[in-house]
Copies of this chain bind each other. A is one copy, B any other.
């Protein structure tokens, strides 16, 4: 199957050379869609010099000012992380996730998100991701060069795509629609005192993981938004301080 629905999203990249090397690796592995989200450098001569056969990937790269705008059209977002523990603990190795990613990519846009060279993806990025991926490494050298990480993930996707017959998957809601639902839900749960400043992040993460596993279609998101709206309305009518 083709990988044309797979989008490589590089967030906050610092080094033009890494963008070029990532583009070359993408071309090697049949990946054509590159998005730079809030890059901290420009595509320059060095990028082009290193891109080789990936030149068309660079030339057609989309540059977005924010990660949010980079996610337009994405329905499944896979975050890559080198660390583990905390919210990251359920990160799975690429080979385990590839079949699921390919099933989704057969009918909808899938984003693979790579963080900046210095920090990797931070919690605010990771909470946007339905799946977390961690490339296995030797314990004493877990930090992988950005373009090398793109290569390994691209390689697994490419090898996995050879002869892959996609299974049916849900038609996932657009990511930005789901994000709007989460914002509304968080607000409602704060209003009724289920969430507090101290536990809000953690609880919302837990909810995201549940719904992420479930896979939400647009209709599901509509139902959840309806509940959130009703909860907010109810909270307002019960609040003695409001009229």
Contact = CB atoms under 8 A, between A and B. Distances in A.
Interface of A: 21, 24-25, 27-30, 50, 52-54, 93, 95, 135-138, 140-145, 147-148, 151-152, 155, 158-159, 162
A57 to B, nearest CB: 9
Contacts of A25: 144-145, 148
Given A28-B137, A29-B138, A151-B151, A21 B145 contact: yes
Tell me whether chain A's interface is mostly helix, strand or loop, or mixed.
Answer: helix
B137 A29 contact: yes
B93 A28 contact: no
A169 to B, nearest CB: 24
A95 B28 contact: no
Given A135-B155, A136-B159, A152-B152, A141 B54 contact: yes
Contacts of A145: 21, 24-25, 50, 52
A186 to B, nearest CB: 38
Contact of A28 (B28, B142, B147, B155): B142
Nearest to A147: B148
Contacts of A155: 135-136, 152, 155
Q: Which of A148, A152, A155 has the most CB of B within 10 A?
A: A148
A152 B54 CA distance: 18
Nearest to A32: B138
Contact of A159 (B29, B95, B142, B148): B95
A145 to B, nearest CB: 6
